[in-house]
Amino acid sequence: GLISDVCTASTLFILLSDLFDMITLDQCAQLFKYLDKNVETWKSEMFYNAGKNYLLRMCNDLLRRLSKSRNTVFCGQIQLFLAHLFPLEEKSGLNLMSNFNMENMISYNKNPDQCEFNKKKICKYFCVVSIEFVIMVNTFDALIILSDITIDYNLYKKFWTLQEYFKNPTRCYGTGAWKTFTGCASGVFGCFKSFKLSQVKMPADNQKNQNFKQECCFAKYLTSDKLFNLQLSDSNFRRNVLVQFLILFQYLTSHVKFKLSGHVLSEDQISWIADATKTVYELLEETPTDGELFAKTVKHTLDREENWIAWKNDGCASFIKKKNAPTQNIVPPHNSRKRNIGMDLKSNSKVMKLGNPEMTKLWNLCLDNELACKSQDRNFVADMSVYFSQAMEQLDPSASIEESYKLINNSTFAWKSLRLLASQSPAFFSQMHANATPIKNIPRYLELMLNKLNKELPVIIEDKKITENNTGSESSSQENDDEMMASDEQFQDFVVKIGNNWKALARIVLKDEGVVKEIEEQNLPSDESCFEVIDEWKVTG
C-alpha cells in the first residue's frame, strides 16, 4: 500500500503499535517474528526515518510488560532487533552519561536466625553436581572436592553484599564502603580457593548417548540460602561472579569521561585491585572446564573493551567514513581580477545590446558605472534659495498667510528643512555647545533660521561664486572672519561679568519681551540664561 501511495509510511507503524497494545504477550511474540523477519525493510530509506521512533517506543513498551526472569528469550529477541535496526552510534542506545541500572534489586535472606546452614565442619568427600543444581550422575561434568571449611551465614551475607557494588561501582570510592567491599571480596576469594573444582571425564557409554555440550544461562540469580552450597559448587556460577569482579576492576581503574572529580583511587587501592585481578585470573584458570582458555578469552575481551571506552569518551563517532568529493576534475580557481562589462565594452568600443532599444540606450549612456554614480546629474539636493523661497514669502507679514497654512508648520517640510540646513548652512550648528538647551518648538526655530537666511542668502550666493572663481581668496577671507569672531573664552568672561543683569542685556539685544519671558520661565542659573540670550541673538542676528 505504501509503494502504491495508498498510505503514508507512519501509518504502518501506528497500526503495529496499536496491535501490540491490544493483544496478549503470547500473541505479541508471534507478531514480533514478523518485525524481526523484515528488519532490513525497516532499515531502508523509505521506512527508517518515518518509523524509527515508533519502533523504539513500541519495543520499550513491550520490555516493560515482559518479565526478565520468565520471558528472557523474548526480551533478548527485542534487544537484538533494536541492535540490528539502529546504527552503532545511535544516541538512544549508548548510555553516554555512563549511568548504572539501579533498579536491578538483589534480595536475599538478611535474617541469620531463619537460615538453615550446617555450621559443623564438613568432612572431605566427593559429590557430583550438575549445572542445574540437581544430582544427576549421567550429566555431570565436574568433580567437586570440598575442603575443611565452614559455610555459614557470614559467608552467605558477604557473597550477596558484593552485588550492591557490582551494580553501582561508584560506592567503592567511599572509605567505609571500600573496606566493606575488600572484606567481602577477600572472603569470597578464600572460599573459591578452598573449594577446588576438578574436571572428570564422562564414561564412554554416556559420551555416546550425549554428543552435545549442555549450556545454561541464568538471567537472574537464585539467592536462597538453601541453594548456596550448590551454587558454590557450580563452575558457571563461579565464572559469572569472577567475571563481574574483572568488569568492576576495569571500571575503577579506567578513564571514564563522566566520572566525578572526587572518584579517584589511592595508591593502596590500586595496588589491592592489581593483586585481586591476578587472583581472579588464577581462579578462572583453575575452574573447569577449559579454564585456561576461558581466562584468556575473558582477558582478550576486556582488552578490547578499552577501545570501546575510548570511543565512548570521544563522543561515539561514526565508523562510516563520509565520501569525499572527487578532486581529480576540480579546476583550480583563477586568481586574476574579474573584468566588468564596462571595461569590455570600452576596450572593444562596441555597443552592448540588451534586446530592447530603451534598455540598450540606458546601458550605453556611460560605460563606467562608478563615474555614472558620481555624475552631477544624479545630485537631487535642491539649493536653499529655491527650496525656502515659498516659505520665506509666507513669513512676510504683507502676505497675510494664516499660521496653520504656513509650510514651517508642515512636519514633512520641517524634517526636510532641518536636513538641508545641516548639510548647507553653518548657522545650523551655531547653538551646539555644552550649555545649549534642546530645541522644543521646531516651527519657531525654522522661522528664526529663515529670517536669518533671508538676510544672509545673497551673501552666501556671492561667496559661492567667489569660491568657484578663486579658492585662495575665499580661504583668506574666511581666516579674517575667524579673527573677527569672539572665542569661547571671551564669551565665558563676558557671561561672568554680566551675571544677574542678563535680563537688561536681553531687552537691549533681543528687543522681544516674549523671548525674555520664555527664558525666564525656564528657571535656569544666571550664566545659562545669559548663554540663552546670546544664542537667540546669534540666530536672530
**Could you please report the per-residue DSSP string of 35-91?**
HHHTHHHHTSHHHHHHHHHHHHHHHHHHHHHS-TTTSHHHHHHHHHHHHHHS-TT-G
Same domain, 291 and 258: yes
Q: Please name the helix (run of DSSP H) or strand (run of DSSP E) that holds residue 126, with its range, or none.
A: strand 126-128
* Cβ-based burial of 205 (10 A; exposed 0-12, middle 13-18, buried ≥19): exposed
Q: How many domains does the chain have?
A: 5
Same domain, 116 and 252: yes
Residue 449 three-state SS: helix
**DSSP string for 335-380:** -SPPPPHHHHHHHHT-----SSHHHHHHHTT-S-HHHHHT-GGG--
Same domain, 391 and 470: yes
Same domain, 360 and 406: no
> Is 496 among the domain residues?
yes
Same domain, 288 and 191: yes
> Is 210 among the domain residues?
no
Query: In whole angstroms, what is the distance from residue 365 CA to residue 377 CA?
Result: 12
Write out the chain's pLDDT in tens, 541 residues: 555 566 788 888 999 999 999 999 999 999 999 999 999 999 998 889 989 999 999 999 999 999 988 898 999 999 999 999 998 888 878 888 888 888 878 888 888 887 766 544 433 333 333 333 333 333 334 444 444 456 788 999 999 999 999 999 999 998 899 999 999 999 999 999 988 887 655 555 555 455 545 555 666 778 988 889 888 888 999 999 999 999 999 999 998 888 888 899 999 999 999 999 999 999 999 998 899 999 999 999 999 999 999 998 888 888 887 777 555 555 555 555 665 555 555 445 556 677 788 887 777 777 677 777 777 777 777 778 888 888 888 888 887 888 888 888 888 988 888 888 888 877 777 666 556 667 778 888 888 888 888 777 665 545 555 555 555 555 455 555 544 556 666 766 777 777 777 777 777 776 667 777 777 777 777 777 777 777 777 666 5
Query: In whole angstroms, what is the distance from residue 522 CA to residue 186 CA?
Result: 95
Same domain, 201 and 309: yes
Query: In whole angstroms, what is the distance from residue 38 CA to residue 340 CA?
Result: 61
> Is 261 among the domain residues?
yes
pLDDT of residue 206: 54
Cell of 475: 580661504
The residues, any chain, with a CB within 8 Å of residue 448's CB and separated by 6 or more, are 539, 540
Query: In whole angstroms, what is the distance from residue 318 CA to residue 483 CA?
Result: 80
Look up residue 177 and give its DSSP letter.
H
Same domain, 116 and 67: no
> Is 511 among the domain residues?
yes
> Is 325 among the domain residues?
no
Query: In this structure, which long-range contacts are made by residues 366-371, counting pairs with CB atoms below 8 Å and at least 24 apart in sequence?
Result: 367/342, 368/342, 369/340, 369/342
Residue with cell 548510555: 95
pLDDT of residue 53: 92
428: number of Cβ within 10 Å: 17
CA distances from 288 to 44, 144, 197, 326, 462 (A): 46, 10, 7, 57, 119
Last residue of a domain, one of 294, 313, 332: 313
pLDDT of residue 134: 35
Residue 142 three-state SS: strand
| First and final C-alpha spacing in the chain | 92
Residue 144 three-state SS: strand
Last residue of a domain, one of 92, 126, 141: 92
Same domain, 73 and 165: no
Same domain, 271 and 288: yes
pLDDT of residue 357: 81
Same domain, 417 and 514: no
**DSSP string for 269-305:** HHHHHHHHHHHHHHHHHHSSSSHHHHHHHHHHHHHHH
pLDDT of residue 390: 87
Structural domain harbouring 160: 112-205+220-313
Q: Let me know how long the chain is.
A: 541
> Is 334 among the domain residues?
no
Same domain, 165 and 309: yes
pLDDT of residue 488: 64
Give the closest residue to 72 by CA, choosing from 80, 437, 524, 234: 80
> Is 201 among the domain residues?
yes
Same domain, 186 and 231: yes
> Is 327 among the domain residues?
no
